[in-house]
Structure 1
Amino acid sequence: INLSIGGPDFLDRPFVDKVREVTASGIIFVSAIGNDGPQPGTLNNPADMNDVIGVGGIDFGGSLASFSSRGLTVWELPSGHGRPKPDVVAFGKNVVASSNRGGCRSLSGTSVASPVVAGAITLLLSSLPGDQFLAKANPATIKQALIETATPSPSYHMFEQGAGAVDLQQAAEYLATHPPHVSFHPTSIDMTQEYFWPYSAQPIFFTSRPLLVNTTILNGIGPVGRLLGKPRWFPAQHGHAIINVKYEVSEVLWPWTGNLGLAFGVKEEGAEFAGVVEGAIQITVASQDITGKESIVNASLPVKLKVVRRPPRSKRVLWDIFHSIQYPPGYIPRDNLDVRDDILDWNGDHPHTNFHRAYTQLRKAGFFIDICGEPLVDVNLALYSTLLLVDTEDDFYNVEIDNIVRAREQGLSVIVFADWHNIELMRKTRFFDDNTRSHWDAAVGGANNHALNKILKHFGMGLGNGAYRGDTKIGRRRLTYATGSSVVACPAGGKIAEETLERATLGGGRGGKERTPILCVDRPADKGMVAVFGDSNCLDVNHLRSDCFWMLEELVSMASTATDDTLASALASTNGFNRSSEFAEYDRSALHYPAPPHYFMLLHRPLPELFKSVSRVLNFPPSFFKPKFQEAGIGDNRDHFR
């Protein structure tokens, strides 16, 4: 089956269940990955599913089509990391095909690339001898043949192109010579190769957050498989002594596939090690083939890890993603109100998706960024020079706030990039959803400034209940303030930037103009710096008009050194102000999850995200939401590396 349609990357349970029923029956499902590129985190469903072959598009020169959607699988980010998608790419730009009006026409889109692959699969199936057809004509074996013989381009990483361009001849030879087996996608993990970005973007070290890898297990033997025992780590050389491996895994593989999530960390014994650690993850799977015969097979995932010595605190940054709500647990309206063709904030809010250029800017500047997907409770903030809170939508526990305030006294800097927050505008973004036959109300604005103010009030700062837009200039840098909030409190001794901006409205109307502060930086000598900027759109590559990556880098640099720089000199000093009447408010009349219609949407999410989102009602302790990774077994490398 080819399906040249799709929707935003999330689990629409009734539809997903039907797709799985189809593939469980042995039917091969091919689907277009979407035309929302070139930005990452723009995958479409069902092409993002394990048991579906997701197809991206290339031109006839082998270049990735700009419109082709990219990974990660955004819906999996709250519980770990996204999987690589698309699986493969094929011709999808200026493809000549027949026209229903007669003659030919030129077509472009991943909806064109997908049937190209479906046709290639048909040819592959026709090449199978009769005695092999039933054993190999299944979703997993065909995907294995395609991804293990595809040709990757050196210009793109695996979350852009998957395994690469389909090679029909090589796939046919693979299919003819390989019996049904179990394998992984991707087929290896190598932090030394650019193709494996973002895994290759930053090495791991003692006390760094673990490297999270999400792989797909492909079971070509049968639609149902069972994992026997736990995954085992077979280290080569230093691996046993310094690498800690934990996992989450599907104990039942159905249909034809499962997930293996891995967390690679460095033990204290590896604190002074710098180099490459090699090894392999091995699993054992039991599965019945079409004749009912059970096979027990092993599958291995080769791994190369880059390890460095622990960098100094001044070079370490913690980027919080736990408080960024992933669509669809709640209706989070778009950050830029001028964008009218995309009403939902659904692209991930993650350093590896829509904030990837900001992440890359900091890495190039020599900073090490740990991405934190758990509450800021047991996290040792003393390891970091800076905590980044970018476009946060969720609330903060009191114990998290206490931890942040205490860490700031000990030198931690806090940098906030917020967004618009206005109750009247939130009410106006209400819309009727035809799928659920219900009205949807915004849970927050572009960011949850009310929640951020619970932290900022301890630092004499605050964000307003407003929305502003316009052009501004900080120093010599010009910047578009897409839709942001105002800074309504800044302590004495702080520095500010302010601008005359227009009040943002919906529907294209024009609001009045007023002078308002948009940036506050407080840098006392005896504690960490705090900086608040009212708009994160300039860090978000989706609908980017002008960037402020330079500002982020300069703020982080200011936080890690004792000297002022160009940005600080461009700001005006203030004696302090506090317009408490303008502070961002909490709209108690709006629907907040888990109230309908958002509650049923929660059931479409990974279980940890469901627990996280209903925590306000059920009052689970924050530690409940930590990933439930288990310790991997240790194999004897003499048994694996021969």
Structure 2
Amino acid sequence: MNPADMPSTLAVGALHGDDVAPFSSRGMTTWELPEGYGRIKPDLLAPGTRLLGAKRGGGCTSMSGTSVASPVASAAAALLAGALLASPGADGLLGAPILKQALIDGATRLERRSAFEQGGGALSVSKSLRALLTSLSPKLSSLPAEIDLRGCTADGAPLDGSAFLWPLCAQPLFYSSAPLLLNLTLLYSGLAPPSNLTRPPMWVGASEEDAQMLEVRFETHDATLGVGIVATPASVRLEEAVVRGEIIIEAASTRSDGSAALLSLSVPTAVRVVRPPPRHRRLLWDMRHSISYPPAYVPRDWLEGANEASADDMLDREGDHPHTNFRGAFAHLRSRGYVVEVLGCALTAINASEYGALLLVDPEDAFSAAEVAKLSRDVREAGLSLVVLAEWYSEAVARKLAFYDDEARGWRTPITGGANVPALNLALAPFGIAFSEHLVLSGELRVGERTVAVRSATAIDGFPAGGYIVRAPMLIDEAPRSTGVGASTARDVPMLGLLQLGGGGGAPRGRLAVFGDSSFADEHKPHASAEASAVKPVHHMMWLLDSMVDFAASGVRDERLFAAATRLDSSLLRASNGSTDADALGLLAPYSRAARADECLPLRLCCGTMNEAARCGPFLRAGREGAERADGSLAAARRGRAAPSIAAPRRRAPSADVPVEACVVGPVCVVLAASLLARFCARRPTRQARWCSRQLQGCSCCRTWLLCRRLWLRCWPSARWRLPL
């Protein structure tokens, strides 16, 4: 776990000339995934290549690295501290917060890099000094200082000099789209952090029409303000527009004499809003079933050099998000006119009729029974298609990758393989599709003159009749070598499967495109040079992603691909008995979200964190007509009125926005759980009182408030934490 990811720290990246050094880590942070969105890290860049330093034994040597850049930033902070101490009227202001604010506010922005690569920009001591001494009274600022999402072309490419908020600007908002989520890093100068907001943050539209186009929600954390932006039904009448406004934040801090200081900040916003695109152009990328390090030990997706690699090098730490290591695939799909939305809720929460295809890319988590049933219905009855990119899986290999953690003083074993293939097989079982649970394949798949590198992949182990299979003539099975035995050869290996479900009854049927590897779309490459690791992925292999997505979302066939495929006259039966346990290694449970798969379903816009609630709302709407009834208040957005704040979501008052369906389902869920919950709390009235409070207050914004209150009093009749009427 990198301490630089902490909100209160100053994370320093490395500069190479006037650009980001190839070895410098990029953001975003991944702690907030999948429900939320990562924060901007690093905070700024400092020179970090070929700097002269003392050499052991005398003399000087040239050094490079972020460990070299950090002392440069520390030296700059020391210079600023000295200047502050020498300034009259600065008594009591010196501290880490004001120095961090000055360093970031005075940084010089790099035009060709996003905020997630450079933070505030390159270190500039002179600008930081001016920013520091301009005003010696407490003040509030943010990173980014503005939310301007106009810096991308229509196909998602960043404009020259306007890449700062890419990939957030890569696609516009529209009604029924997933919310735009981002985090503002709050920077302050004063003796106390501005943790006490004098009033909830609010978004003010530049005009009455602008105010009706967007709904903006907030959630406050320790030095971070979470922002969620949703397009309202009123935006449907716009062909394309830029909605402008500002976010107003007011907080209280402390002056050097102990008196209170009121801090105010205005963050300008400019958001592109368009009409909803056609269904076949909308893709949904599943992040709900992705688990990464930290905290879980999830092994990386390739095993080349695993025997020689260090334990740290075996961790899957990049998030598998379309804005992190799959950002090249995201940019490629956007360049072809697709809209790629990210799903942080369970599959039970999606409105399948809105999307052309669901992308399951390298999933590590299990799928609940409700999710499997919902997925089957969506594909067979609602016309949703699937694009599946799996990864290697082998219990024997996973156990071989265990290592002793000196810090934790214990052994760490992977919770699954490169992907959780048993869980994926359970999800695909209704369609008769399965992947191998013991192969780790590498080599090359060739289709005519086009090739795709296969690296530590799995193979298709089961496929229904009528489908098409593309086979690799020969691949190397690395599983024996990874366990200490020589590698073996696998021939005529089914790697790619394409299936059109049969029609009937007039209901639209979906299509499935499955492949045993995701590495061809992954930017992170093993043993790459520093320069190679910083470039875009190998685009000559993106033809496979194009073919799979076009077939799934639109039914467009790549003739060269189908010419190389074999149509199955009979089902391809599994060569081995697969596991029926998605947690075959017995280590997944502490990190799995499968038990919470239905948490969004009855709650709609009420419970959960801001990011979770904001994501769930649009997916749960059963169509635009139902959405307009459910969100009638959205069309009446008011200029200057504070947006609904859910900084403390489990204590919210009843919401008028909750649809009638939620009020029907809510009491059923509460009544079913009431007796067990009350009995549990009655047996543990002291130790579990706060837990009981959290569970019952979780439904505070549903229409079953009075029922919940009665259940609460039954659970803990003498509690001090009374629920309000």
Q: TM-score range by the shorter chain?
A: 0.7 to 0.9
Whether the 8 Å CA contact 1:489–1:576 is kept in 2: the answer is no
Q: In the alignment, what sits opposite 2:572? A: 578
Distance (whole Å) between structure 2 residues aligned to residue 549 and residue 134 of structure 1: 59
Is structure 2 residue 281 aligned with structure 1 residue 315? Answer: yes
Counterpart of 2:270 in structure 1 is: 304
1:24 matched residue in structure 2: none
2:225 to 252, 260, 267: 260
Secondary structure at the counterpart of residue 334 of structure 1: coil
d(CA) in 2 for partners of 1:262 and 1:489? Answer: 44
Partner of 2:199: 229
1:107 aligned residue (45, 49, 63): 63
CA distance in 2, matches of 1:443, 1:98: 44
Partner of 1:591: 586
Label 1:638 to 1:589 Cα distance change in 2 as closer, same or farther (>3 A). closer
- Report the equivalent of 1:501: 475
Name the residue aligned to 2:497. 520
CA contact (8 A) 1:503 1:510 kept: no
Structure with higher helix content: 2
* Post-superposition offset of 1:400: 1.6
User: 2:445 is matched with which residue?
Assistant: 472
* 526-535 or 555-564: bigger deviation: 555-564
Match of 1:432 among 394, 404, 411: 404
Deviation at 1:295, TM superposition (A): 1.5
In 2, distance between residues paired with 1:272 and 1:319? 27
Question: Deviation of residue 136 (structure 1)?
Answer: 3.2
Instruction: Specify whether residues 99 and 418 from structure 1 end up closer, same or farther in structure 2 by C-alpha distance, changes over 3 A only.
Output: same
Counterpart residue number, 1:441: 413
Change over 3 Å in CA distance of 1:510–1:360 after alignment to 2 = farther
CA distances 1:438-487 after superposition (whole Å, capped 9, x unpaired): 12222211111111112212112111112222222133222221111110
Pick from 187, 193, 206: which aligns with 1:218?
Answer: 187
| Cα distance between partner residues in 2 of 1:290 and 1:584 | 67
Quick check: 372-381 or 624-633, which moved more? 624-633
1:554 aligned residue (536, 547, 564) = 547
3-state SS, counterpart of residue 146 of structure 1:
helix
Q: AA paired with 2:397?
A: L
Q: In the alignment, is the contact (CA less than 8 A) between 1:55 and 1:86 conserved in 2?
A: yes
1:41 corresponding residue in structure 2: none
**Quick one: which of 496, 501, 519 aligns to 1:537?**
519
CA distance 1:163–1:587, change in 2 (3 Å): closer
Encode CA deviations 1:473-519: one digit per residue, 9 max, x unaligned.
13322222111111011121211111222221316753221222111
Specify the SS of the correspondent of 1:497: strand
- Structure 1 residues 161 and 507: CA distance shift in structure 2, 3 A: farther
The size of the alignment, in residue pairs, is 572
Structure 2 contact 34–344 (Cα < 8 Å) conserved: yes
Aligned to 2:326: 355
Shift of 1:227: 1.6
Which letter maps to 2:246? Answer: A
Listed as ranges, the matches of 1:147-186 within 5 Å are 147-178=104-135, 179-186=137-144
CA contact (8 A) 1:236 1:637 kept: no
Provide the TM-score with structure 2 as the length reference: 0.75
Letter in 1 for 2:517: D
Q: 1:339 to 1:210 in 2, by over 3 A?
A: farther
CA distance, structure 2, for counterparts of residue 404 and residue 424 of structure 1 = 30
Contact 1:232 1:634 in 2 (8 A): no
Distance 1:121 1:542 in 2: 34
Deviations 1:216-273 (A, max 9, x none): 11231233431222111111123211101112112xx5xxxx1111111100110132
1:29 maps to none
1:455 is the counterpart of 2:455: no
TM-score (norm 1): 0.84
CA distance in 1, matches of 2:253, 2:264: 11
Q: Quick check: 1:568 aligned with 2:557?
A: no
Letter in 2 for 1:412: L
Unaligned runs of 5+ in 2: 152-162, 504-508, 529-537, 615-633, 643-725
**Aligned Cα RMSD in Å?**
2.5
Corresponding residue SS for 1:325? coil
Greater shift in the superposed pair: 287-296 or 168-177: 287-296
Confirm or deny: 8 A CA contact 2:496 2:516 kept in the other structure. Answer: yes
SS of 2:21's equivalent in the other structure is: coil
1:93 aligns with 49
Aligned to 2:257: 291
Which protein is bigger by CA-based radius of gyration? 2
Give the deviation of 1:207 after TM superposition: 0.6
- Cα shift readout 1:104-129 (whole Å, capped 9, x = no counterpart): 21111111111111111111111123
- Whether the 8 Å contact between 2:11 and 2:44 is mirrored in structure 1 is yes
Say if 1:135 and 1:180, in contact at 8 Å, map to a contact too. no
Provide the rounded CA distance (Å) in 2 between the counterparts of 1:87 and 1:568.
Answer: 48
CA distance in 1, matches of 2:544, 2:232: 35
* Secondary structure of the corresponding residue to residue 11 of structure 2: strand
Q: Which residue pairs with 1:370 in the alignment? A: 341
On the 8 A contact 2:288/2:345 being kept in 1, the answer is yes
**Which of 378, 384, 407 is the matching residue for 1:407?**
378
The whole-number CA distance in structure 1 between the counterparts of 2:218 and 2:641 is 23
One-letter amino acid of the counterpart of residue 27, structure 2: G
356-365 or 625-634: bigger deviation: 625-634
Cα distance in 2 for residues equivalent to 1:564 and 1:634: 45
Deviation at 1:77, TM superposition (A): 2.2
Q: Is the aligned partner of 1:199 residue 2:168?
A: yes
Q: Secondary structure at the match of 2:13?
A: strand
SS of residue paired to 2:314? coil
- Give the distance between the partners of 1:628 and 1:371, measured in 2 at CA: 16
Provide closer, same or farther for how the CA distance between residues 339 and 386 of structure 1 changes in structure 2, counting only shifts above 3 A: farther
> 1:42-81 deviations in whole A, cap 9, x for unaligned?
xxx222222221111112x312211111100122223411
Q: Residues 339, 347 of structure 1: CA spacing in aligned structure 2 closer, same or farther, 3 A cutoff?
A: farther
Assess, with a 3 A threshold, how the Cα gap between structure 1 residues 416 and 434 changes in structure 2: closer, same or farther.
Answer: same
| 1:388 to 1:485, Cα distance in 2 relative to 1, 3 A | same
Give the strand-richer structure, 1 or 2.
Answer: 1
| Aligned-partner Cα distance in 1 for 2:453–2:510 | 28
How has the CA–CA distance of structure 1 residues 533 and 589 changed in structure 2, closer, same or farther, with 3 Å as cutoff?
A: closer
Is the 8 Å Cα contact of residues 417 and 535 (structure 1) preserved in structure 2? yes
Deviation at 1:131, TM superposition (A): 3.8
Q: Distance in 2 between matches of 1:290 and 1:173?
A: 21
Asked whether 1:382 is paired with 2:340, we answer no
Amino acid aligned to 2:133 = A
Q: Does 1:53 align with 2:10?
A: yes
The one-letter code of the counterpart of 2:205 is: P
- Rounded to whole Å, the distance in 1 between the matches of 2:278 and 2:15 is 43
Q: Distance in 1 between matches of 2:385 and 2:597?
A: 29
**Contact 1:233-1:634 at 8 Å conserved across structures:** no
For 2:487, the aligned partner's letter is G
Q: Cα deviations across residues 532-568 of structure 1 (Å, max 9, x unaligned)? A: 1011122211116966422112211122334422333
- 1: CA distance, partners of 2:336 / 2:262: 49
Change (3 A) 1:635 1:493: closer
1:187 aligns with 2:145: yes
8 Å CA contact 2:35–2:288 kept in 1: the answer is no
1:322–1:134 Cα change, 3 Å = farther
What is residue 119 of structure 1 aligned with on the other side? 75
Distance 1:520 1:244, change over 3 A: same
Residue 619 of structure 1: CA displacement?
Answer: 8.7
